[in-house]
A and B are shown apart, each in its own frame.
Chain A
Amino acid sequence: MSAIKTFHRKTKKGSVVKVVREHYLREDIHCGRESCADCQPFKQSSDSPFAPKAYLSDSPRVGVSAVTPLAHYVVPDFGVVYSQLDVIIDPYFGCDIILMQTVWDEIKRNITVFSQIKQVMAEKRFYVFLNEYNKNTFSERVFGESIAEYKQRLVVSAAEWLQSHLKDIQLVLIVNSNEMKLKSESIQCFPIDKYVKSLKDCVNLVDKLADMSTTGEYAKDIKLIFDEHLGLDAIQSGIKSGTKYFQGKYYTNRLNYLEGFVMISRNGEELNVLIQGSLHINRAISDDIVAIELLPESEWTSKSDVVLEVNEDLEDNGDNREDREESVIFKKEDTSTKTPMGRVVGIIRRNWRQYCGVLRKRNENMNTSSMSNRHLFVPLDRKIPFIRIETRQYEHLKEQRIVVAIDSWPRDSKYPKGHYVRCVGAAGTKETETEVILLENDIPHMEFSNDVMKCLPKEGREWRLSEEDLVNRTDLRGEAICSVDPPGCTDIDDALHCKDIGNGLFEIGVHIADVSHFIKPKTALDREAADRGTSVYLVRQRIDMIPTLLSSDLCSLREDVDRLTFSVIWTLDANTAEIKTTKFMKSVIRSRASLTYGEAQNRIDSPHMNDDVTRGLRGLLQISKILNRKRIEGGALVLASANEIKFVEMDSETHENPNPEDQIPEKSEKVLKIEAKQIYETNSMIEEFMLLANISVAKRIYEEFPSLSLLRRHPTPSSSNFEDLMGCAKSKGYNMDTSSGKSLSDSLNKAIDPDNPFMNLMFRMVTTRCMTQALYFCSGSLADETENFGHYGLATPIYTHFTSPIRRYADLMVHRLLSHVIEYEAIDASLLNQKKMHELCEQINFRNKMARQASRSSNELHSHLLIKDHTSSGKPLEEEGYIIYVKKNALQIFIPRLALELSYFLDPKEDWIYNEFELTQQYLPLKYTLKLFDKLKVRLSVNENALSLRSKLVIELIEPFCVQKQPKEKSNKKLKKV
């Protein structure tokens, strides 16, 4: 028996086609109950993807629910699965759930819901009942019935048939509360909240219920705050027109949650559009893909110059106050520098995830009876608005870090509505906070799975290279190779040698751990490494990309052991460092010495040392100085970022990535202290050769794979990016020429103030912030090689990553490409796919960004713990800092020793006079003017009462003058914070 399904579809070309599908009905579809006598059992085999994983129990859910104490199966309808997913998949909600095919097909349309359900189905007894292919439960749609009604009817009639089929087991249909009541006699039907509340010990589950009371229909008397979002079709056609709407990702300003920007392209030109004020933001949340419309030019203003914080500590009693402040913040002022402004007209795709944070502390004086379960959730990510949730566990959760998901943001609500998902742990402890950092940055940090571990060499630590491994490898075990790394480094992925081969030539070799020998494509290990993308370095903790056996042992080029490597060997002119020849080879080395930067420096400087290794080091240093000079002359920038100052240089090798763990300061749990790290010439020596190797490899693979090379580029920042820098420089009387990397580098070198040695560093820090991010990319996915491939910071036309395969997946890919190029090992054909390569690059870029953020957060966290220690010991920390930005209502202060940047709010406002041209703030009571880059001394302490991490710090200015605060001001609206 069959039926016909037809529908119309619009093709991309714009024509309309009628699609006709035959629909066959069967009688042999199993009902799902394990011991059902009437149904033909499925073969339960693991290799058939269609067979169900498990049958439903014969005595399901007995006595779990107060409303239906007898055995019953739960049948959720689509609305419930979609909106209450966290409840359905909760282990406590239990098994024996029947998903109707009608519901299942709807679920498939939403990839996030679908993948979560799939995951849970592997562990829980879910049964998908194919009601639409079952002759007994299928019926055709009748005229005048809406699709939603039809689907509802299919689910109900299938449930009714199953009920008559199962007889003694009750079927319980679960619907969303606001849906219509069913008129079915034979089956029971409950709204989800009623059913969940009837379960035993349901408190945890009840909190996970999403609030579905608003459905897009608003009563007339409700005051709507936001404009309606446009429908997707209207948006798409508006975007197609090219002038009406624009699509882009919305980013919230980190310092001001009422302001954000969207990068759009208009007429092929990249344009950064400012979105200001909550009404224009119109419920967009950072990272959403939105459609915006440009405001008329007459309404364009400049970026607001304030740092805005909401009081996170107490439940606010009225919302009016903020509205008023909003208008103050954005009042029109100087209109000389106008930025394009826009407003959000619709959301194309929400990018909501689950957020970590805390509950806002409840005002004890408030009448708690009326809204006792409603709470405001304060996400740690300042770009995310507060979320309104309901929980009955406030007493339990108030000191905890919890995870919350957003359900909806109705037009009449100031905050999005969400529900509680889970609890991470007690706030303020190192473990919880670190976990939160990992969660917030989406970093995979689970132990490696068994499948992955099985891919490692069976011998484990006893692995030795065999004869087979030596085939086609150059034996370099006789060379005087050594590695130079930061102290305590265990994942040594590079080693070098240098020897004088006469005629004024040096032979210099860079040897990189051959990780691709151990990680073969298409293995579980490879997939896991590709997913992780990079190792993540937190304070005193490293999250490896590959298992420790490889990272710290088999691939680590330690001294006096034979290791497999991938070598680049040049012959260079000893005086000009000009490259004569370049060779790439797979090799075997035995490192003579694993040195630290300090040790290497000592060897070079010591007149008594004259062994091969030392002589090699001296040669390397000599060449590296020439290389460095040439590079700087070529326009390479010497930049600085917060982290680098603290630990001298985060990545001693390439200036780009977070450092290996050893550069992390000594901060133990109890006694926290920070050690400054020394810079040696050897640091930049290693860096020069790594850069040289990367560039050589990039050229070579690009020759062979013009459209499939994995390269790294650093786009030239647009001139608008440099506005901050120009402003700073102008106020200090310097001129920054940002027209090219070379001129910028020269300008930076000239910007020196003998009275303030930190100023040059500050300029470099500000410059760093003006930069765009360096990115991995697939050479075939960018059209114009001369324009796009360049690395701005390093001033080289082509660049890639080759030198750290232990901690970066990109390097591993480059190794594979290069192996193919030198005809050592043919590359797996599945990797030679431009689309896949492009996706891989996107993935690594994402992970990289997250890893950077996590490292930064981890630093911040440990700085906080340090300050907390000092506060509790009664000696608040006093630190020297520098003003790196002057804002209208705040000073951004950078503390070099802690690598910490703080916002110091100027409070009360009346005491300060802001000069936006000279970037100064004058303190009226003392007639003292603070200027950009001025040195200050601040006292840092922790306010134990504040809940959220970011509002904990209290900053007091103690030098050059003290500012006395009335405590009253503090509790009002703005709080000193980080």
Chain B
Amino acid sequence: MSLLSLISEGERRYICGGIDCGLRSDGRSCDDYQLISVERDVTHNCDGSAHIRCGHNDVLVGIKLEMESVQQLQDWDQCGRIDFSADMTANASPVFEGRHGEDITNILVNLFSESIPQCLDLKSLVVVPNKHFWVIHIDIVVLECGSLPSLIDSAAIAVKSALFDTKIPKVSPILGDDNDFVVSDDEFESTRLDVSSVPLFVTLTRISGRYVVDVTREEEEAGVASISFAINSTEGIVYVKKLKSGSLHPEPIQQIHQSVQKVGNTLNESLMSKLSTDSLNKGKISFSFN
């Protein structure tokens, strides 16, 4: 981000001191998230979409499906594909103007494409075996960005919600022809993806001697480095990646292992329960955690 420091040395020490005592400037504890509100089905042009606001993070995720044909059979591993792309608007902050947001969006795309596809049943995206399959395009638009660690967590929630929202139009193979299909023009005649094992991200930032979730921009400045955990409800931690240049000692990470899983599970559970309670509803409903 900016070369100019956002906080002064005094502020940094204040934050660190508070964190050491388990206190944060907005009154949260170290493993507390800010208010999260998610809205599904926000753009009609997409097959699935979600809009999340969490603190200063504002992320829109749109999912489009595309039918693709198998080009070379020997290269194809009998399943569908997921494509990620992310975009940082200059509205989020003037520093993102031009291509300056790319380092952040690249991090998002890398994190998600390395962790999410393996947790989805991509075989279910095959329409006609050896012929046609669905490609899921996930477009992430960052409208506002608080801090990178919290942005990752928010974006992951938005992606999961949007995947949950995705309606795959019903395609039926043509009787007597194994190679072709018809698509139903009935908008209600659709299937949904099984998103139960799609991971959410919990990104911890080491500030002073502790690990903190959902950091604000000031807290991020005060931190040393961050580490991102992808956690799903069935397997626990499926993916870990360290962010930023500061060095972290492995021992404390082993110690927080338990608590990170707990945070991730809570997040997963509350998101899924909220989502599934209105899963039959086409209307736009917002909800939040905590």
Show the binding face of A for B, using Cβ within 8 Å.
Answer: 4, 6-10, 14-16, 18, 20, 141, 143-147, 230-231, 233-234, 236-238, 240-241, 244
| Interchain CB contact under 8 A, A230 and B67 | no
* With A230-B175, A240-B180 as contacts: A6 and B187 at CB distance below 8 Å: yes
| Interchain CB contact under 8 A, B185 and A7 | yes
For A10, give the chain B residue with the smallest CB separation: B183
Query: Shortest Cβ distance from B135 into chain A, in angstroms?
Result: 10
Residue among B44, B65, B69 making CB contact with A4, cutoff 8 Å: B44
| Interchain CB contact under 8 A, A14 and B132 | yes
Complex CA–CA separation, A143 to B46 (angstroms):
19
B186 contacts A by Cβ under 8 Å: yes
| Interchain CB contact under 8 A, A6 and B69 | no
| Interchain CB contact under 8 A, B67 and A238 | no
Residue among B132, B184, B188 making CB contact with A145, cutoff 8 Å: B188
Q: Which of B45, B65, B176, B282 has the most C-beta atoms of chain A within 10 angstroms of its own C-beta?
A: B176
| Interchain CB contact under 8 A, A16 and B67 | yes
The 4 closest A-B pairs by CB, nearest first: A237-B177, A8-B169, A237-B180, A234-B175
| Interchain CB contact under 8 A, A238 and B177 | yes
- For this complex, 27 residue pairs linking A to B, each with C-beta atoms less than 8 Å apart, are A6-B187, A8-B169, A8-B183, A8-B187, A10-B183, A14-B67, A16-B169, A18-B45, A18-B46, A18-B47, A18-B64, A20-B44, A143-B280, A145-B188, A147-B186, A230-B176, A233-B177, A234-B177, A236-B174, A236-B180, A237-B174, A237-B176, A237-B177, A237-B179, A238-B177, A240-B180, A241-B177
Complex CA–CA separation, A675 to B74 (angstroms):
81
* With A8-B183, A230-B176 as contacts: A143 and B188 at CB distance below 8 Å: yes
For B47, give the chain A residue with the smallest CB separation: A18
Complex CA–CA separation, A231 to B64 (angstroms):
30
B182 contacts A by Cβ under 8 Å: yes
B103 contacts A by Cβ under 8 Å: no
B66 contacts A by Cβ under 8 Å: yes
Q: Is the interface of B mostly helix, strand, loop or mixed?
A: loop
Complex CA–CA separation, A103 to B187 (angstroms):
20
| Interchain CB contact under 8 A, A16 and B188 | no
Complex CA–CA separation, A230 to B175 (angstroms):
8
Residue among B171, B176, B187, B188 making CB contact with A234, cutoff 8 Å: B176
Complex CA–CA separation, A416 to B209 (angstroms):
88
| Interchain CB contact under 8 A, A8 and B185 | yes
For B179, give the chain A residue with the smallest CB separation: A237
Residues of chain A with a CB closer than 8 A to B132's CB: 14
For A147, give the chain B residue with the smallest CB separation: B186
For B186, give the chain A residue with the smallest CB separation: A147
Residues of chain A with a CB closer than 8 A to B44's CB: 4, 6, 20
Residues of chain B with a CB closer than 8 A to A147's CB: 186
| Interchain CB contact under 8 A, B182 and A10 | yes
Complex CA–CA separation, A15 to B186 (angstroms):
17
Beyond A8-B183, A18-B47, list 5 extra A-B contacts (CB 8 Å).
A8-B169, A20-B44, A143-B188, A230-B176, A240-B177
For B45, give the chain A residue with the smallest CB separation: A20
Interface string of B70-93 (1 = CB under 8 A from A): 000000000000000000000000
Query: Shortest Cβ distance from B290 into chain A, in angstroms?
Result: 30
Interface string of B170-199 (1 = CB under 8 A from A): 010011110110111111100000000000
Residue among A14, A143, A233, A237 making CB contact with B69, cutoff 8 Å: A14
Residues of chain A with a CB closer than 8 A to B176's CB: 230, 234, 237-238, 244
Residues of chain A with a CB closer than 8 A to B179's CB: 237, 241
For A144, give the chain B residue with the smallest CB separation: B188
Residues of chain B with a CB closer than 8 A to A8's CB: 169, 183-185, 187
Residues of chain A with a CB closer than 8 A to B177's CB: 233-234, 237-238, 240-241, 244
| Interchain CB contact under 8 A, A9 and B282 | no
| Interchain CB contact under 8 A, A233 and B169 | no
Residues of chain A with a CB closer than 8 A to B188's CB: 141, 143-145
Query: Shortest Cβ distance from A140 into chain B, in angstroms?
Result: 8
Query: Shortest Cβ distance from A284 into chain B, in angstroms?
Result: 18
| Interchain CB contact under 8 A, A7 and B186 | yes
| Interchain CB contact under 8 A, B174 and A233 | yes
Residues of chain A with a CB closer than 8 A to B282's CB: 143
Residue among B45, B46, B185, B280 making CB contact with A9, cutoff 8 Å: B185
Complex CA–CA separation, A880 to B216 (angstroms):
111
Interface string of B229-273 (1 = CB under 8 A from A): 000000000000000000000000000000000000000000000
| Interchain CB contact under 8 A, A233 and B182 | yes
Residues of chain B with a CB closer than 8 A to A237's CB: 174, 176-177, 179-180
For B68, give the chain A residue with the smallest CB separation: A15
Residues of chain B with a CB closer than 8 A to A16's CB: 65-67, 169, 171, 183
For A18, give the chain B residue with the smallest CB separation: B47
Residues of chain B with a CB closer than 8 A to A230's CB: 175-176
Q: Which of B132, B185, B187 has the most C-beta atoms of chain A within 10 angstroms of its own C-beta?
A: B187
Residues of chain B with a CB closer than 8 A to A7's CB: 185-187
Query: Shortest Cβ distance from A301 into chain B, in angstroms?
Result: 26
Residues of chain A with a CB closer than 8 A to B182's CB: 10, 233
Query: Shortest Cβ distance from A588 into chain B, in angstroms?
Result: 64
Complex CA–CA separation, A20 to B187 (angstroms):
11
Residues of chain B with a CB closer than 8 A to A234's CB: 174-177
For A141, give the chain B residue with the smallest CB separation: B188
Residue among B45, B175, B184 making CB contact with A231, cutoff 8 Å: B175
For A20, give the chain B residue with the smallest CB separation: B44
Query: Shortest Cβ distance from B164 into chain A, in angstroms?
Result: 16
Query: Shortest Cβ distance from B159 into chain A, in angstroms?
Result: 19
Complex CA–CA separation, A147 to B66 (angstroms):
25
Query: Shortest Cβ distance from A139 into chain B, in angstroms?
Result: 13
For B183, give the chain A residue with the smallest CB separation: A10
* With A8-B184, A16-B66, A147-B186 as contacts: A233 and B175 at CB distance below 8 Å: yes
Query: Shortest Cβ distance from A343 into chain B, in angstroms?
Result: 14
Interface string of B45-59 (1 = CB under 8 A from A): 111000000000000
Query: Shortest Cβ distance from A246 into chain B, in angstroms?
Result: 14
For A11, give the chain B residue with the smallest CB separation: B67
Query: Shortest Cβ distance from B66 into chain A, in angstroms?
Result: 7
Residues of chain A with a CB closer than 8 A to B171's CB: 16
Complex CA–CA separation, A256 to B47 (angstroms):
56
Residues of chain A with a CB closer than 8 A to B280's CB: 143
Complex CA–CA separation, A10 to B66 (angstroms):
11
Complex CA–CA separation, A144 to B186 (angstroms):
11
Q: Which of A141, A146, A234, A240 has the most C-beta atoms of chain B within 10 angstroms of its own C-beta?
A: A234
- In B111-133, which residues have CB < 8 Å from any A CB? 132
For B169, give the chain A residue with the smallest CB separation: A8
Query: Shortest Cβ distance from B29 into chain A, in angstroms?
Result: 41
Query: Shortest Cβ distance from A943 into chain B, in angstroms?
Result: 49
For A241, give the chain B residue with the smallest CB separation: B177
Complex CA–CA separation, A6 to B43 (angstroms):
11
Complex CA–CA separation, A16 to B68 (angstroms):
9
Residues of chain B with a CB closer than 8 A to A233's CB: 174-175, 177, 180, 182
Residues of chain A with a CB closer than 8 A to B169's CB: 8, 16, 18
Complex CA–CA separation, A141 to B189 (angstroms):
12
Query: Shortest Cβ distance from B71 into chain A, in angstroms?
Result: 13
Residues of chain B with a CB closer than 8 A to A236's CB: 174, 180
Complex CA–CA separation, A240 to B177 (angstroms):
10
Query: Shortest Cβ distance from A656 into chain B, in angstroms?
Result: 45
Complex CA–CA separation, A797 to B119 (angstroms):
71
